Chain A
Amino acid sequence: MTLSADPAAILEPETIEEASFLRDTMRAFRRNRMAMVGLAFVVLLVLGAVFAPWISPHDPYRVELDEQLLPMSATYWLGTDNFGRDVLTRILYGARISLVVGIVPSLVSLLIGTVLGILSGYMGGKTDFVVMRLADMMIAFPSLLLAMVVMYTLGANLLNIFLALALVGWASVARVVRSQTLALREKEFIEAARANGTSRAVIMFSHIFPNVVPTLIVLFSLSIPEAIMWESSLSFLGVGVQPPEASWGLLVAKGKEYMFQAPAVAIAPGVAILLTVMAFNFIGDGLRDALDPSMKD
């Protein structure tokens, strides 16, 4: 890459004050329309979930047996389910659980996987052996069974769902991060950092980690839908979220029995999952591009 005759045309003159990395990133992110749409959707969803008790038109738990499986109407925008409960209300309440279940365990497994993956890849030797054999065990073991065992022995509540999902999820993150670290540690800039007397901890944190971040963001946006799916599987099998609580997975699972009488009962929460997953993917793509210095010009 060469600079043109007038370098100032490319690099805006700046003072000695540091240009904020965060501000640069935000500016690049705002320019990405799809990412902004995704962000808007997620913000709306979060607001809807937080304020569900105030904005939802009906009680999510009240059973009205003479109003079962009603079609869409002005009163029930998305119809009612087999107990006569408003589907829209249930989706809003379900968003609370599904969002939390999507985000928290993803973050936890990402954190564990990143730390272990970088350690394993950079330190090599015994550390690498121990971490990778642990990861192999996790991946070799049927993860649904593992999650079910956790849920069954510890009891079906939200905290244990987090635990089970993080336990299942960290190993694949660690593998991806390790392989990236293995490639990065051979790079000349790592050797240059070592030639500066940089300690191993600093190299791992401030040289390798920033290079892994784009991958982590993609992994994160992929693992949110996965976690939502995991939660629905567990709920479907009866060890996850317990009725009458609502999560999107549970709503799809229960609603599918009435697919032909009232398709909205199953399809509406399914669409909610689909839109949320897409929104997170757009945000992930936008963030990845915004964090890549070579895309910022």
Chain B
Amino acid sequence: MGADDPILSVRGLRTEFSGDRGDVRVLDDVSFDVGRGKIVGLVGESGSGKSMTALSLMGLVPRPQGNVSASSILLDGRDISKLEPAAMRRIRGRDIAMVFQEPMTSLNPVRKVWEQVGEPLAIHQGLGRSAIRKRVLDMFDLVGIPEPKTRLDAYPHQLSGGLRQRAMIAMGLICEPKLLIADEPTTALDVTTQAQILRLMRDLRDRVGTSIIMITHDLGIIAEMCDEVNVMYAGQMVEQADVFDLFERPSHPYTRGLLASIPRATVARAARRMPSIPGMVPNLAKLPPGCRFAPRCSDAMPQCQRPPDLLPVGVGHSARCWLHSAGAALPEGEMR
């Protein structure tokens, strides 16, 4: 395995939930790579399957209702898609770690911060309390928690949202994982704190070399942070590209719709409505037979009754859309 091999390579990830009204496939044939030391974005609306992708990778999909299968999930060359739950538990926190959306609730209110941040060390490396305290102190330093010594014995409610999210990142990184999954890590924070946390994560990637999957619905974060982008819609990958390519040549109508829906702080000449994609994310139990985006798509054609494949539209750039099946480029005027 060479240094160019991706740290994570997911092929054919499929997650289904069985319920009273039959099975629902929430992830359908999801494949993507995360390069070493790269920040890879997963974007999409709520319900598009981004968080479910993270939970499936972590082996945290609730059983027995949920069922995850994949042709392969290679983590640093090792296939983790068929591991037993116990083996998966040893990987969580040590090789893959996760930072959650809500820093206010992702720390246990009755335990001291250092005990929680250091818990992965106790689990995976069996360190004693004083060794853990030292490591946590170092991590607090690394993630830029001011006066780290006084924060060790703090309880979560004594820290601000930004500090808690820093603590969560410290917890994620404490075992030096190969991959950090950040599930909307800044959604619950105010804008200035958001910028600090994002800068911290980029810094850490540069200094520690952690590869990061960044889950977000905010294309601004994608533009600022990511090297590569995966756009998800209704449980499928609809477009995969280098970040510059994606913003310059968005190839899937959904991506173009997302880009058009970014609010701009321009002075409104008249009361212009914010552009948005018409319609709603389809119910996963009642998907349209062909392209899942077709009902909301302004470019829908007769072919769209049949499901399109994810096909290359450029170097390292692919899209799941019939517009590109003949190799036809989009007319310039449609891009906006």
- Interface residues of A, Cβ cutoff 8 Å to B: 1-3, 7-8, 10-16, 18-19, 21, 187-189, 191-199, 202, 206-207, 210-211, 213, 291-294, 296-297
- Please state if A293 and B110 are interface contacts (CB–CB under 8 Å): yes
Query: Within 8 Å of chain A (Cβ to Cβ): is B11?
Result: no
B107 cross-chain contacts in A, Cβ below 8 A: 189, 192
Query: Within 8 Å of chain A (Cβ to Cβ): is B298?
Result: no
State how many angstroms separate the Cβ of A129 from the closest Cβ of chain B: 15
Query: Within 8 Å of chain A (Cβ to Cβ): is B141?
Result: no
**A237 vs B159: C-alpha distance when bound (angstroms):** 57
- Please state if B58 and A10 are interface contacts (CB–CB under 8 Å): no
- Please state if B92 and A16 are interface contacts (CB–CB under 8 Å): no
- Please state if B120 and A196 are interface contacts (CB–CB under 8 Å): yes
B149 cross-chain contacts in A, Cβ below 8 A: 13-16
25 A–B contacts, CB within 8 A, in A order: A1-B157, A7-B147, A8-B147, A11-B158, A16-B133, A16-B134, A18-B133, A187-B105, A188-B102, A188-B105, A189-B105, A192-B98, A192-B106, A192-B168, A192-B171, A195-B92, A195-B93, A197-B89, A197-B90, A197-B91, A197-B94, A197-B120, A197-B124, A292-B110, A293-B155
Query: Within 8 Å of chain A (Cβ to Cβ): is B108?
Result: yes
**A162 vs B109: C-alpha distance when bound (angstroms):** 35
- Please state if B98 and A8 are interface contacts (CB–CB under 8 Å): no
**A296 vs B158: C-alpha distance when bound (angstroms):** 11
B134 cross-chain contacts in A, Cβ below 8 A: 16
Report the number of A-B residue pairs with Cβ-Cβ less than 8 Å: 116
**A115 vs B49: C-alpha distance when bound (angstroms):** 37
- Please state if A188 and B92 are interface contacts (CB–CB under 8 Å): no
**A206 vs B189: C-alpha distance when bound (angstroms):** 28
Apart from A1-B160, A16-B152, A196-B120, what are 8 other A-B pairs with CB-CB below 8 Å?
A13-B147, A13-B149, A13-B150, A187-B105, A189-B105, A197-B91, A210-B110, A211-B110
A16 cross-chain contacts in B, Cβ below 8 A: 133-134, 137, 149, 152
Query: Within 8 Å of chain A (Cβ to Cβ): is B233?
Result: no
Among B314-334, those with CB < 8 Å from A are: none
- Please state if B146 and A7 are interface contacts (CB–CB under 8 Å): yes
Query: Within 8 Å of chain A (Cβ to Cβ): is B111?
Result: yes
A292 cross-chain contacts in B, Cβ below 8 A: 110
B137 cross-chain contacts in A, Cβ below 8 A: 16
- Please state if B123 and A192 are interface contacts (CB–CB under 8 Å): no
- Please state if B155 and A193 are interface contacts (CB–CB under 8 Å): no
A10 cross-chain contacts in B, Cβ below 8 A: 158
Digit string of B105-132 for contact with A (CB within 8 Å is 1, else 0)?
1111111100010011001100001000
A18 cross-chain contacts in B, Cβ below 8 A: 129, 133, 152-153
Query: Within 8 Å of chain A (Cβ to Cβ): is B238?
Result: no
B178 cross-chain contacts in A, Cβ below 8 A: none
Among B56-98, those with CB < 8 Å from A are: 58, 60, 89-94, 97-98
Closest to A202 in B: B123
**A14 vs B149: C-alpha distance when bound (angstroms):** 7
B146 cross-chain contacts in A, Cβ below 8 A: 7
Query: Within 8 Å of chain A (Cβ to Cβ): is B100?
Result: yes
State how many angstroms separate the Cβ of B52 from the closest Cβ of chain A: 13
- Please state if B119 and A193 are interface contacts (CB–CB under 8 Å): yes
Closest to A196 in B: B93
- Please state if A11 and B154 are interface contacts (CB–CB under 8 Å): yes
**A3 vs B193: C-alpha distance when bound (angstroms):** 14
- Please state if B157 and A294 are interface contacts (CB–CB under 8 Å): yes
State how many angstroms separate the Cβ of B45 from the closest Cβ of chain A: 21
State how many angstroms separate the Cβ of A283 from the closest Cβ of chain B: 20
State how many angstroms separate the Cβ of B14 from the closest Cβ of chain A: 21
- Please state if B119 and A195 are interface contacts (CB–CB under 8 Å): no
State how many angstroms separate the Cβ of B129 from the closest Cβ of chain A: 7
- Please state if A211 and B108 are interface contacts (CB–CB under 8 Å): yes
